[in-house]
A and B are shown apart, each in its own frame.
Chain A
Amino acid sequence: MTPSRTADAPAALDRPEYVIETSALTKRYGDVVAVQELTLRVPRGGVFGFLGPNGSGKTTTMGMLLGLVHPTSGDARIFGDPAGRPATLRLVGAMVETPTFYPYLSGRANLRYFQGIGRRGSPADIDRLLTLVDLGKRADSKFATYSLGMKQRLGIACALLGDPELVFLDEPTNGLDPAGVVEVRELIRELGTGGRTVVLSSHMLAETELVCDNVAVLSRGKLIAQGTIQELLREHDSLRLRTTDDAGAQTLLKGLPWVEGVAQQDGALVVTAPQDRSWEVARALADRQIYVRELVPLHRTLEEFFMEITGTDPTTGREQK
């Protein structure tokens, strides 16, 4: 655990390996446990996906990291400093849940205000950010007149004020049209380069898979998986196999130590084994005069992985039957 810094020392300059670290972080609301014993490490740089069905504790965790929610127990640190410390938060940009701004102020005035109170960057950044999120033409309209998509864009612009080292984006593509989703996805990808870390919370798993380097999956307040997307999806690699003797192949493959399982599915065998050992599968079968007619690596999507490990639908949070 990185020790706490003193006074106003710019924490991020020390550049600890992990930008976020939590240890047994817990939040209870009466009898309800929103986050339970969460121990998490977010490495510096890249895009970190924070996944989980609705009600899994993602936003509560973000709230605790940003000092909005007081933990019941445990420890949370950003750049090695206790979470919620104002000086540290000035190095962090955040859009949590629906973006909230003053409805009677224009988009530009809202950004000026948030820039002013956080002393982030210079006034010239505002025009640049408004252009970046494609709000230049409506910058002087009142926030109350914005569509949901425009509000999201303004929220992203606000999170980027002062060029923060760590950016939290909670469901940033909510309310955006398909073109907007692609734009924001590209923006997030770009933000995650050059040493900046983006923590992306989303239930849009296909989108997350495209932009994230690492992910953590939460379910019912608990961390149930964490790693790079490649690692997580490869964890239960499988191959679809058709042979000249499926019954014999099944018996043979079950005896191999690196094969986790073999099952019949749609007239083929599904072999749970590392895909880079597919040639060994073919050779083992050929040694017994069983010949491969078809051998296809099966690629799972993040969504399939998510449903498998959480047992829930990523969008609704309802349990899968």
Chain B
Amino acid sequence: MIAHIANLGLWEWFKLRRRWMLWILLIFALMFAQLAVWGGYFSYQNLRDTGGEVTVPATLQQQQGRVPRTVRCNDLLSGDPARQPADLDTQVTAGLAAQCRQLAPTLPARLSRAYGSFTLPGSIPNALNTIQTLGLILMAILTASAIGIDYGAGTLRSVLTQGTGRWPYLTAKFLTLAVLTALGLLVAVASVALSSTIAGGLAGTPPDAAGTAATWSDTGIALWKAWVSILPYIALTAFVTVLARSSAAGMAIGLGYYFAEQLIVALLTNFFSWFQNVADFLLVRNISGWTGGAGGFPGTVLPDQTHAIVVLAVYTLALGGIAFWLFERRDVQGATGGG
């Protein structure tokens, strides 16, 4: 049976790799990974060049609707009159310089953190944090499409009459998607490693206080967490696609649920304090709790990792289980349209 499922998985890959969608989604993932690295690099360069920036008090800014004006600490602390902001009152300038002096002792640590965010190994957990959120959405699209096409094009009938068996066929799809998720993350990590090496070279000598908190084992853990966090979302999308026999429904729920849950939690916890307890059992919050992500709206307390992994396992098993049950017991109809 294992050989049979493995064979079905290989043929699932045969189909998927011929779809543009897979490669477009991968390009998106790689672009976001690069964004994390190069965003970190430019942020570091900016910090190094400016020595940090302080914001001009809002009451003095006459540029409503525009980005708040900032002043470079290196300019303020240089003592060079030519580098002082000419349009600001000397008292204000002195105040801003005082702020910069306060921040100055933290600069080496900030530089070190910024440097670590785009150089190995710290760049990988940092990039995975970005890719993981996008990965949920990309895998929701791929899952809905991979499962939904058999309903839309009516190919499920042709597939099952080949004697594949129902549950082995769906199992092979799940496993292929899980493997593709891992491979996608690995490719993204490889691209991050490459660009981190380049960015590290461009950045030159590391800051004095170099030495980041991230280690190579953190990288492995981040990769594992990112992969595990996507699995319940694959289960959710697969469940909706099988339930509605439609890739469109799967994609809609897969894309919409991520944002809808955060919005609902933010709204209802404001009105009802007890809703916080309910929210601790919702999918996206536990994904965030597991990966240690931002968890949507600021100020919310995320579930701890043990709680999160148990909830995610229950979601994966329950949603996946119902999807299998429906897939096994329902009659197979003709094409429903779409793909």
Same complex for A and B? Answer: yes
Bound complex: CA of A141 vs CA of B334, how far in Å? Answer: 23
Report how many residues on chain B are interfacial, defined by Cβ distance under 8 Å. Answer: 29
Contacts of A296 in B (CB 8 A): none
Q: Contact string, B166-185, partner A, CB cutoff 8 A, digits 1/0?
A: 00110000000000000000
Asked whether B331 lies within 8 Å of A102 as measured between CB atoms, the reply is no
Asked whether B162 lies within 8 Å of A100 as measured between CB atoms, the reply is no
Interface residues of A in 79-104 (CB under 8 A from B): 86-90, 92, 94, 96-104
Bound complex: CA of A100 vs CA of B155, how far in Å? Answer: 5
Bound complex: CA of A114 vs CA of B221, how far in Å? Answer: 39
Interface residues of A in 119-163 (CB under 8 A from B): 119-120, 158
Asked whether B162 lies within 8 Å of A114 as measured between CB atoms, the reply is yes
Expressed in whole angstroms, the minimum distance between the Cβ of A181 and any Cβ of chain B is 23
B15, B168, B331: the one within 8 Å of A113 (CB)? B15
Q: What are 17 A-B contacts defined by CB distance under 8 Å?
A: A66-B160, A86-B164, A89-B160, A90-B162, A96-B161, A98-B154, A98-B334, A100-B155, A100-B335, A102-B149, A103-B153, A105-B15, A113-B15, A116-B10, A118-B162, A118-B163, A158-B158
Bound complex: CA of A102 vs CA of B159, how far in Å? Answer: 11
Asked whether A92 lies within 8 Å of B161 as measured between CB atoms, the reply is yes
Contacts of B168 in A (CB 8 A): 86
Contacts of B158 in A (CB 8 A): 99-101, 114, 158
B155, B162, B164: the one within 8 Å of A101 (CB)? B155
A268 within 8 A of B: no
Contacts of B8 in A (CB 8 A): 117
Interface of A (DSSP majority class) = loop
- Interface-located stretch among A37-45, A67-75, A195-203, A215-223: A67-75
Give the interface size bracket for A toward B: 20 to 34
Asked whether B162 lies within 8 Å of A102 as measured between CB atoms, the reply is no
Expressed in whole angstroms, the minimum distance between the Cβ of B192 and any Cβ of chain A is 31
Contacts of B11 in A (CB 8 A): 113, 116-117
Answer whether A109 and B18 are a contact pair too, CB < 8 Å, given A70-B329, A98-B335, A100-B335: yes
> B residues near A, CB below 8 A?
7-8, 10-11, 14-15, 18-19, 149, 153-155, 157-165, 168-169, 329, 331-332, 334-335, 339
Contacts of B163 in A (CB 8 A): 86-90, 92, 118
Contacts of A70 in B (CB 8 A): 329, 331
- Residue among B7, B11, B329 facing the most chain A CB atoms (10 A cut-off): B11
Expressed in whole angstroms, the minimum distance between the Cβ of A262 and any Cβ of chain B is 49
Bound complex: CA of A103 vs CA of B169, how far in Å? Answer: 20
A68, A88, A99, A112: the one within 8 Å of B331 (CB)? A68
Asked whether B331 lies within 8 Å of A86 as measured between CB atoms, the reply is no
Residue in chain A with minimal CB distance to B154: A100
Bound complex: CA of A109 vs CA of B16, how far in Å? Answer: 12
Asked whether A100 lies within 8 Å of B157 as measured between CB atoms, the reply is yes
A63 within 8 A of B: yes
A86, A99, A103, A105: the one within 8 Å of B165 (CB)? A86
CB-based closest 8 A-B pairs: A118-B162, A89-B163, A100-B154, A90-B163, A86-B165, A68-B332, A86-B163, A94-B161
Residue in chain A with minimal CB distance to B335: A100
Bound complex: CA of A99 vs CA of B153, how far in Å? Answer: 10
Answer whether A118 and B15 are a contact pair too, CB < 8 Å, given A69-B331, A98-B335, A100-B334: no
Asked whether A96 lies within 8 Å of B157 as measured between CB atoms, the reply is yes
Contacts of B339 in A (CB 8 A): 103
Expressed in whole angstroms, the minimum distance between the Cβ of A280 and any Cβ of chain B is 52
Residue in chain A with minimal CB distance to B334: A97
Contacts of A87 in B (CB 8 A): 163
Asked whether A117 lies within 8 Å of B334 as measured between CB atoms, the reply is no
Contacts of B165 in A (CB 8 A): 86
Contacts of A69 in B (CB 8 A): 331-332
Asked whether B159 lies within 8 Å of A117 as measured between CB atoms, the reply is yes
Bound complex: CA of A75 vs CA of B334, how far in Å? Answer: 24
Contacts of B160 in A (CB 8 A): 66-68, 89
B10, B15, B153, B169: the one within 8 Å of A100 (CB)? B153
**Contacts beyond the supplied A113-B14, A116-B14: 19 A-B pairs with Cβ under 8 Å:** A66-B160, A67-B161, A68-B160, A68-B161, A68-B331, A86-B163, A89-B162, A89-B163, A90-B162, A92-B161, A94-B161, A96-B161, A102-B149, A103-B153, A103-B339, A112-B14, A114-B162, A117-B11, A117-B159
Bound complex: CA of A70 vs CA of B328, how far in Å? Answer: 10
Bound complex: CA of A56 vs CA of B61, how far in Å? Answer: 80
Contacts of B161 in A (CB 8 A): 66-68, 89, 92, 94, 96
